[in-house]
Structure 1
């Protein structure tokens, strides 16, 4: 292939061949080879011969692929050895894919190969496990770019947890001398911001408060930025910056393959020109000469979202900003729906920022055109955006509420920040990157052993990342940390499956990690649980320890009087007055009033008397006021004697044999034949007529002899209801046992279900 245009046809032919081979292999594997082997000796020998040939070719390819690398070549002797050495085969394939990816990017022009001089220079200082010398967009795997921090004049020391000392060697525009500014005032808090006095006393230029027409920006297509990668270029840029009144500043930072992170680019723009400064050079701290402009209060510095930029400038370059205007706080004070730089570019310039390079590896040199243009766009339009924001702030300001002063005050607070070395307490987990923040943000249930393993593995990962100067996610990501804590592997096989995919950094230290897990599990058997040290969040972000105050990590508040509380609305905007709160009833009120009211509403019952006298009075009133004559009561049945009740009887004795009607009529035990009911038999027509006649006769008015029944019932003389004897005994003669389903059996039968012949079945009749 002579050019990149020849690659797509080649790729298409290669893909077609691979698809055909894969399809053929799939068809072969679908056949019953074991059966064919047993049926033909020649076929079995042929298959074995081809299998050995394929294994030999595969072993040769693996040896060729691992030549010149640290990876051992797996030896495939038979089919069982493939499974035993599968992990090694996967490692070789991964290395080949990474190498092919880098070569394809170089061939298609996405990246460029390092110059020979750079290759020779980086070979001696590259990290031990660099798998490729070709830079590309970064990921969380092994770094493909030689670490630029290895070439810095001041070597990186990630184990230093002492308070950060400012890098300043000189202090331009000083109100307080450098010697006094860098004195340590607190052994714990460390050094203060060297330009603290100058930042607080800074007076902004008059045009910052005035409304004026926005200055047009330079056309994008007809202008370009100057890439500065030499000290001479920095000095020439500094001369031009001293002659202007406003500049725009932005940074590009990389924190994946560096523990603390490094500033990779710095963009500076004026009204007429743009610069992109390479901050990865060994002489990067010589950029302190830019403090002649950055610390000059007469020159306005415009930044967007400067919170981290201020930290990175003083940590890596020793630069401090005096007289800053942060457009982020301006967007906040104007109540914009969005406050990002992308939104401001689209609103005021109608420029759509390409965010594909937002997460790019800014250590790449030389910079691709797309990344260079993206970096330039961050500051090219920023001064024009500042003009629009300044005018809106001035127009919306009130005599008692000047928005410009508010934005400038917030910008000063951002500039007063100072860098502190990131270190966390291994015991309590508090601090930047500590385990306490991980667990509080990711609710999980852990045993004592799992909690101890989590803390130990978290500390192990942090120590390895500091030693290798890599981000902790390059050792293994956060979700893998939780997997290891829950699984608590005790052998290398289980550990590798839990860590999968295993990074080279962790693979080289797998035995050390395994020992850490074992020791932590033993020590954690008698240790605390996560819930014992977790502080439940309350109002204002404060909390109370789960167990006791001495176990907690945060000091509980002394009182709640300093908590601002919101007033409670009496009427809901949605429900209205339906949710009006009422005081709950006391227990006596509830038992006497509420229960009676609830009973009255639930059952339609008349008022019930509470005493016997009230019941007597109510009965007298109801009797005298009743206009209609009372219904005659049924003749009282004479109660049986006690001795008769005590007699022992059986159902069979009561039942007796089946008798004729004549015998029933002549029976001395029953006064009338109608009193005998044959259970289970349907009454005859004559019996039904007689029953109807008796019923009509019972509804006729009774003589005066029953009038005494209308008198009030004497409750006091009445016998006890709880100990009352049965009122009557009905003698029933059953001709056959009682059947409660007799009527159900008399229902008409339904249609019989027809049998259908099931398909595929036959019946044999004998």
Structure 2
């Protein structure tokens, strides 16, 4: 680019180059690149060269932007580095955009901000990462054994603050130490400095923008190691002179039940201290409340959510005048960690591999001390930069945009945190050490009754053992192992022992004790996981903070016992229609309508009933459930005599077809022949005719009776005689038929001696077939026998097409 080239021409040339590049890239789809590489090796080589060139330019561009914004940019060597370091790329882009906004505001005159001078020592604060292996869980003796105030893991009373005096008090210590109910209704001691923190006012310099004070060079200064009470008193004298101090803690919670504060780092503008908080006299550090509880001294922390609890639990320290830079990050920046602030304002790469190190090690390695010191050494300078950004971005006329006041208010609320004894409810699993959160997040486990009982028993045994041995619950037995054992549900002690991991040194020797408790829990039983969640569901569902208005729903039966559904005396879908001829007795219905589970269509059937129904009465209340009136069984199926008549024996007969009137007027000879044919038909088959019932009158007879009634004519006597003779003849035929059937049945069951002379030989199986066997053999079916002998026939005539005419316009 020529020196005389202005910005507009530069912008146009850059845009032209970008457009040309995008057009070139879009000429070939990304899915076709592998095909092009295979077809033409030169294309693959060119693609690799261009990709390397683009990655190099991107890395140079990110590094240039990172140097301009005082932030470390990631190095991109291949395509995978983009995904792995995407968070770092986003931080650089956000910082560039933020700096561009600031530059635009300064250029337009909206803000007047002067950048602080950056000392040369800022670039010298980097230190190469240590290659030494970080010790996570050191095998050392427990320091809490030597404490003058040993921890009490089985306390049944509320946790009481360990304060013996209260500096900077507006309310005496005796008046402050009173019990109040917490969120769950359990009594707890009040925060001793609740009155002082609630009414405190931050110093005026906190609300004002000022020139940041540069930190001391790390190479020319050194942190002071404090491991005696006299050294604490000397440090206290220096801290009283400061207006702001930075504080951070290092904590250990794996080889202890409640946790240990292992180190405390304190820094002023000129000096750093690292205090050994594992000394037996650690409770005497309460003397530092002369500074920590002083509202005129600003205490700067980053992410002090747990620090507030750890300080009062182990050291008896309470912070009044807290400024948490984490809340400022939430309001101003994209990153929120302390490492982000160190990289943004100091260009310091914090080595976070020591964050989970075992800080109980004594003596502490030099690399760990350097990491611990860096957390507070630069924090006051970061506080100056963050405070200035908050003041510059705040608008005092709007509560929502008054960022500095919002950050201070949230810091004040955080300093009111208080410690409580860890524990949980064995029935509901709620509490800081409970299992409710775990099963809620992993409800897919779907434990049955025995599995859920095993899970709760193992959880309780682990908590009791951890309290007794002063170990963390995860050291005794991991939560993942508890879930696996409960899911498998071992049938015996040997199976349980095989499921205990080798990394559980306290659980494997006690597997017999664990098995006894598991057997007892299985014998007692309990709800399944699904039943537990159902019983824990709220009685009323709320929507938008208000109770939802709805009709009262039917309450499900109790989940502890077996769920049974009682059958109603009347079908809600089919009404009074009996299922069979013999009415089945129903179970006694419950008097409580809530014990029955309604079908989805039940309310539609109830709403569809009319008011004039003769069997059911509609309830007058809209929310009431329609009562089902039982219907008498006799009214539906008849009396017992009728039932016996229906269940009696009947004979299957075959009768003649119904004749027309012309056929019935024929001569008697035809009737006799019909009767004879009827007799022959009766011998072969039968038709349904109930013997006990009287025979029905014929159509001709019924017509003659109606004609006699209308015209007054008398029935022909000869016709009556013929009718009676016909009936008598039918009666005799039925008697003969019954007699023949009886003879057949009698002959059927008569014993006939076996004739061994006519029996076939067993030893000489190969013999000539008998005539009966020859007749039984069928001829081989030949489908072409008839077609081969016959002549060729023409095709069938197509049937006439029907349905073409319409009867709509029939004349």
Secondary structure of the 2:482 match is helix
Cα distance change on mapping 1:484 and 1:652 into 2, 3 Å: closer
RMSD: 2.9
Tell me how far 1:492 sits from its aligned partner.
3.8
Change (3 A) 1:289 1:329: same
**Matched residue, 1:379:** 376
CA distance in 1, matches of 2:384, 2:352: 24
Which residue does the alignment assign to 1:301? 299
- In the alignment, what sits opposite 1:402? 402
Counterpart position of 1:287 = 285
Matches of 1:346 and 1:454, distance apart in 2: 45
Question: Are 2:797 and 1:715 aligned?
Answer: no
CA contact 2:423–2:431 (8 Å) conserved in 1? yes
State the Cα deviation string for residues 384-411 of structure 1 (Å, max 9, x = none).
1111111110111112132111000000
Conserved 8 A contact 1:390-1:404? yes
Distance 2:159 2:446 in 1: 38
Q: Could you tell me which residue of structure 2 aligns to residue 509 of structure 1? A: 510
The change in CA–CA distance for 1:286 and 1:511 in structure 2 (over 3 A counts) is same
| Secondary structure in 1 matching 2:455 | helix
Using a 3 Å threshold, how does the CA distance of structure 1 residues 557 and 271 change in structure 2: closer, same or farther?
farther
Per-residue deviation, 1:517: 1.5
**Kindly tell me: are residues 384 and 714 of structure 1, through their superposed partners in 2, closer, same or farther at Cα, counting changes over 3 Å?**
closer
State the alpha-carbon separation in 1 of the partners of residues 131 and 307 from structure 2: 32
SS of residue paired to 1:505: coil
> Secondary structure of the equivalent of 2:419?
coil
Within 5 A, what are the aligned runs for 1:143-222? Answer: 144-186=139-181, 188-222=186-220
Question: Helix, strand or coil: the match of 2:542?
Answer: coil
Give distance in 2, aligned partners of 1:250 and 1:564: 46
**Secondary structure at 2:280 match in 1:** coil
TM-score, structure 2 as length reference: 0.51
- Residue 163 of structure 1: SS of its match in structure 2? coil
1:498 aligned onto 2:499 = yes
Indicate yes or no: 2:453 matched with 1:452: yes
C-alpha contact 2:500 2:508 (8 A) present in aligned 1:
no
**How far does residue 429 in structure 1 lie from its aligned partner after superposition?**
0.9
- 1:560 corresponding residue in structure 2: 543
1:428 Cα deviation (Å)? 1.2
Deviation at 1:490, TM superposition (A): 4.3
The aligned counterpart of 1:119 is none
Question: 1:561 offset after TM fit, Å?
Answer: 4.2
SS in 1 for 2:245: strand
User: Do residues 487 (structure 1) and 470 (structure 2) align?
Assistant: no
User: What is the rounded CA distance, in whole Å, between the counterparts of 1:212 and 1:513 in structure 2?
Assistant: 64
The question of whether the paired residues in 2 share the 8 Å contact of 1:296 and 1:323 is answered with: yes
Deviations 1:237-289 (A, max 9, x none): 00000001000000001000000001110000001111000000010010011
| Alpha-carbon shift at residue 654 of structure 1 (Å) | 9.5
SS at the partner of 1:431?
coil
Aligned equivalents of 1:561 and 1:659: distance in 2? 92
Q: CA deviation at 1:180?
A: 0.2
1:716 Cα deviation from its structure 2 partner = 4.7
For residues 214 and 283 of structure 2, what CA distance do their matches in structure 1 show? 34
Tell me the residue number matched to 1:310. 308
Structure 1 residue 504: deviation in Å? Answer: 2.1
User: What are the within-5 Å matches in structure 2 for residues 537-616 of structure 1?
Assistant: 546=534, 551-552=535-536, 555-557=538-540, 559-562=542-545
Find the counterpart in structure 2 of residue 437 from structure 1.
Answer: 437
Deviation at 1:486, TM superposition (A): 1.8
For the 8 Å contact 1:256–1:470, the answer to whether it is kept is: yes
Q: 1:278 to 1:563 in 2, by over 3 A?
A: farther
With over 3 angstroms needed to count, the CA separation of the structure-2 counterparts of 1:269 and 1:557, relative to structure 1, is farther
Query: By how many angstroms is 1:337 displaced?
Result: 1.6
Partner of 2:261: 263
Contact 2:248 / 2:375 at 8 angstroms: preserved in 1?
yes
Equivalent residues in 2 for 1:664-703, closer than 5 Å = 676=794
**Distance between the aligned counterparts of 1:556 and 1:395, measured in 2?**
50
Give the Cα–Cα distance (whole angstroms) in 2 for the partners of residues 268 and 659 of structure 1. 121
Q: Determine if contact 1:474/1:503 at 8 Å carries over to the other structure.
A: yes
Deviation at 1:361, TM superposition (A): 0.5
Distance 1:109 1:528, change over 3 A: closer
Partner of 2:290, secondary structure, is: helix
- How far residue 496 of structure 1 moved from its aligned partner, in angstroms, is 2.3
Residue 200 of structure 2: SS of its match in structure 1?
A: coil
**CA offsets, 1:564-611, max 9 Å, x none?**
99xxxxxxxxxxxxxxxxxxxxxxxxxxxxxxxxxxxxxxxxxxxxxx
- Tell me the equivalent position of 1:389: 386
After superposition, residues 631-670 of structure 1 pair within 5 angstroms as 657-659=789-791
SS at match of 2:506: helix
Deviation readout 1:704-742 (Å, 9 max, x if unpaired) = xxxxxxxx95525889xxxxxxxxxxxxxxxxxxxxxxx
Match of 1:337 among 325, 331, 334: 334
Distance 1:342 1:208 in 2: 23
User: Which residue in 1 is equivalent to 2:95?
Assistant: none
The 8 Å contact of residues 214 and 384 in structure 1, kept in 2 or not, is answered as yes
**Correspondence for 2:569:** none
How big is each residue's C-alpha offset from its partner over 1:515-535, in whole Å with a ceiling of 9 and x where there is no partner? 1112112222xx21110111x
In the TM superposition, what whole-angstrom CA distance separates every residue of 1:323-352 from its partner, at most 9, and x where no partner exists? 110000011111x22201011110110101
For 1:266 and 1:457, the matched residues in 2 are separated by 36
Kindly report which structure 2 residues correspond to 1:121-132, keeping only aligned pairs within 5 A, or say none: none
Per the normalisation by structure 1, the TM-score is: 0.54
Separation in 2, partners of 1:109, 1:157:
39
Question: Using the alignment, how far apart are the partners of 1:393 and 1:244 within structure 2?
Answer: 23
Supply the distance in 1 between the matched residues of 2:808 and 2:437 (Cα, whole angstroms): 79
Query: CA contact under 8 A between 2:541 and 2:547: conserved in structure 1?
Result: no
Structure 2 counterpart of 1:531:
530
SS at match of 1:307: coil
Taking a change above 3 Å as real, the CA distance of residues 714 and 199 of structure 1, as seen in their structure-2 partners, is closer
CA 450–300 in structure 1, closer or farther in 2 if over 3 Å, else same? same
| SS of aligned partner of 2:300 | strand
Q: In 2, Cα distance between the equivalents of 1:235 and 1:505?
A: 42
Measured against aligned partners, the alpha-carbon deviations of 1:141-197 in whole angstroms (never above 9, x if no partner) come to xx6111111111111110113211111101000010111011223482311100011
- Number of residue pairs the alignment of both structures matches: 437
1:370 and 1:561 mapped to 2: Cα distance?
53
Q: Provide the residue aligned with 2:343 in structure 1.
A: 346
Q: Is the 8 A contact 1:489 1:514 kept in 2?
A: no
* Aligned partner (choices 223, 245, 248) of residue 246 of structure 2: 248
Listed as ranges, the gaps of 5+ residues in structure 2 are 1-129, 549-782, 798-803
Residue matched to 1:37: none
Cα displacement (A) at 1:476? 1.3
Tell me, in whole angstroms, the C-alpha distance in 2 between the residues paired with 1:713 and 1:555: 71
Contact 2:320 2:415 in 1 (8 A): yes
Q: CA deviation at 1:438?
A: 1.6
User: Could you say which residue in structure 2 is the equivalent of 1:418?
Assistant: 418
